[in-house]
Structure formats: structure tokens, C-alpha cells
Amino acid sequence: MPPAGPSSRLLRLGLAATILSGLSACNLLTRMSEVGSGPEISKIENPTQKQGYQPITMPMPQPVAPPQAANSLWRPGARAFFKDQRAKDVGDILTVAVSIADNAVVTTTLSNTRSSSESADATKLLGLENTLTKILPGADPADLASISSASSSKNGGDTERKETINLSMAAVITQVLPNGNLVISGRQEFRVNYEMREVSIQGIIRPEDISSSNSISSEKIAEARVYYGGRGVVSDLTQPRWGQQIYDIVFPF
């Protein structure tokens, strides 16, 4: 394949510049529209109707017919005698208790020391040891070669991480998988002055893990996706400008 010419490279650069300018202009217009009022609260929307939404597909076991109990008034899996109040259908709401206490300390130490020495003499070289002095004037056959080397390295590193999140939020069932597991999605926004705090959670749960109070803890959520962040004046002041971020990514040194 022939190398790209100057015109092709200029075309790619122009396309990249157009995309970057479009993104920056969109972000600029959004931030300009929020001057004096702060970030706008998003509308409540159906998560399955959002752009980029994809139904979850997981490995499913073979369907098993539920056992039938003759003359029984109790339904398997029910927590209440008359009706199970737990969420089980698409659109039902349950409470998710998010509790994350992550504390990890990793220490790594590496020490390496190596030394070597090699020497050679030619005091007896098939009777040609005297010829060596003629080829190399001033050479001593008893001290023909001597090589020595030594190296030493020591590395150490410490990594410490500590994260704590404790909150409770409501989530809605968006999908019921063929094996009965439930896909949940929840999102909340809190606006304080000019700062918007966002919390969202997604994942897969088992109906039997839902407590009688219609709640579930985060450690029982499979494929959990928890997001806690913000946007607004405080977030803008605590991060580099977008130009500096692009410069840090593109600059190779």
C-alpha cells in the first residue's frame, strides 16, 4: 500500500480538528447556557429509550418447571402470606443500599546485586608468547586480559488506596432475564447551589436476594456499575482545562 501523501495527511488533520472543534463548541455552548443558573436537572426518562442502550444477554440455565403443591395456599418464594410485596416485574422499584469501604495497601521492594570478573594470561602460548610482544609492543603475556563488572539496583514502591461510599437509592427493574434474574437501573441527581452531584447504579440481581423490606445491598449485585460524580463550578475548578488535557494526551514528551 503506497504511503499517504501530504494531501491525505492534511485531510485527516483537518477532520480531527473539525471533530475537536465541534466537541469543544458543544461543551462551550452548554457551559455558557448554565452561566448564572448552574447545571440543569435532567428529565426523568425511560433508561431503555436512551441512546446507546443495549439489553443485557447472559448465559442462561435450562428452564425448569416449578413444583406443584396440591391444596397449598403458600406460594414458593413469597415473604407475605397473602402477597409478595417485593419488586419482581419491569417497572417495579426497590431500594439499593450502596456500601463500599475499600482500603488497600501494596508495598513492593526489589533488590538486585551482581558482580563478575574474568582474567586471562598467555605465559604459555605454544611457544609464541615472545612473538606477542613483537606484535603488541609493551604487552605482558602474564596480564593478557582482565574484565570485571558490577551492578546493583534497588527499587521500592508503595501504593495506598482508601474509598468509602455509603448511600441508599431507589432503582427500577428494566428487564427480566429468562432465568428470572432482574436487571436494575437507578439514577439520582442532587443540586446544591451551582454544583450537581450524580449517582447511578446498574446491575443484575436475584429475586431471592431482595429482602422483605424490598431492598438489596450492593454486594449482591452482579455486574454492578456504580457512578458517583459531579458537574458544575466546583468540578470545573478541580480539574485541568480541556486544552491542557488535550495537550497532556497529545504531547509525546
- Does 131 fall in a domain? yes
- Does 201 fall in a domain? no
- Does 141 fall in a domain? yes
- Find out whether 183 and 204 touch, Cβ atoms under 8 Å: yes
- Does 84 fall in a domain? no
- Does 120 fall in a domain? yes
- Does 122 fall in a domain? yes
- Does 182 fall in a domain? no
- Find out whether 172 and 195 touch, Cβ atoms under 8 Å: no
Q: What is the pLDDT of residues 175-187, one digit of tens each?
A: 999 999 999 999 9
Nearest to 167 by CA among 218, 235, 116: 218
| pTM for this entry | 0.57
* 217 DSSP assignment: E
Total residue length of the chain: 253
Count of CB atoms within 10 A of residue 116's CB? 9
Cα 99 from Cα 163, distance rounded (Å) = 10
What is the SS3 assignment for 192?
strand
Cα 102 from Cα 89, distance rounded (Å) = 33
Q: What is the pLDDT of residue 97?
A: 92
Q: In the structure, what pLDDT confidence band is assigned to residue 1 with cuts at 50, 70 and 90?
A: very low
Cα 94 from Cα 213, distance rounded (Å) = 9
Q: What is the pLDDT of residue 114?
A: 75
